[in-house]
Amino acid sequence: MAIRDLITPQFIKDTYVLGVDLTLDDGSPYPDVIYEQAIDAAVNYLELELGIQIDPFLVKGERHDARVENREAFWPFSLDHRPVRSVERLAITHGNYDAVEMPADWAVIASGPHGQINLIPTASTIGSFFFGSGVPLLFGDVFNPHRYVPSYFSVDYQSGFTFIDGSAVIPQGATSVEVPISEPLQGVKPTVVLTVTDAQGGAGARVRASSTDSITISVSTAPTTGDMLIDYTIHTVDPALIRAIGLIAALAPLDIAGDLIAGAGVGQFSVGVDGLTQSIATTASATSAGYGARIISYQKQLKDTMGALRAKYRMMNMFSV
């Protein structure tokens, strides 16, 4: 599951371009490729603008420098791809020598959305490492004179927002079920979407409670003729981010529709028969699209939304690493 499973061409049609005639001059609907490319462009723009990774992405071998002055702060890193979901592997190396593995559970995620981690040794493994000038070494203190080692740490980690889909069963006669969440949410409140696929006499499915490790689904009417089957989708994508993608993705079809209100390239036309005339004028012109007012409104809304998103995902560059 990924962001394009949440934001689809049909989603754009049902929300941000609702009420717009989305057909060509011959009456055929716009091809879905228009919406797909607009969604792709919106996702790519927001990833670049905010410095985040929206879809799940596994990063391997990302290198970070070791500076001795950072030892007092337990080796803080700002990882390149955010948000960070989990750290899979840690290693140290000098230049192009073979890497030496470190315990992955030394990595403590201080802020998943900002990609901030620290290295804090655990009690079970700290005795196996020697610390020279604050840099963990496996082979004595040969690097002890160095206060700076470029690309010393190597990190493998999972980035992107969390996407989970599955199904839950409310037994006949019961009114709720608790569903565990196995993926790391990093303290982010999840969004849950429910779809009842087999009601069996039950009704009113809703999320009664949620936390970082489980959700509770309840119904107002218990199933009476069998077990009730409910499909669910859980994700941690910020609602404001979804809105920004929708606003950006809607601009292309609105621009096209505005040019075709009265036909391609037509801003107004008149029809006359036996002295009777009828004139029709649209808001389209040589320099303005027919849905220009809605486009301007969306651009203003996007500006406000982007201000909030930039503030939320602004990097906290407390250390140079």
CATH classification code of 162-236: 2.60.40
Q: How far apart are the first and last CA of the chain?
A: 33
> In 218-228, which positions are buried (b, 16+ CB within 10 angstroms) versus exposed (e)?
bbeebbeeeeb
**pLDDT tens-digit readout, 127-158:** 555 554 444 553 335 545 667 888 889 999 99
- pTM for the model stands at 0.81
Count of positions (residues) in the chain = 321
Q: Is 127 left (phi over 0), alpha (psi -120 to 50) or beta?
A: alpha
The domain locations on the chain are 1-55+237-321, 57-159, 162-236
Return the pLDDT at 288.
Answer: 58
Q: Give residue 21's pLDDT band: very low, low, confident or very high (50, 70, 90).
A: confident
Give the β-pairing of 130-132 and 191-198: unpaired
Average pLDDT, the chain: 84
Concatenate the DSSP letters of all residues of 102-125 into one string.
Answer: E-GGGEEEEETTTTEEEE---TTT
Contact status, residue 217 vs residue 242, Cβ threshold 8 Å: no
**pLDDT tens-digit readout, 250-281:** 999 998 887 766 454 555 555 556 566 655 55
Return the pLDDT at 183.
Answer: 85
Residue 40: other Cβ atoms inside 10 A:
12
**pLDDT tens-digit readout, 192-226:** 999 999 999 999 999 988 888 899 999 999 999 99
Question: How far, in Å, CA of 191 to CA of 177, rounded?
Answer: 17
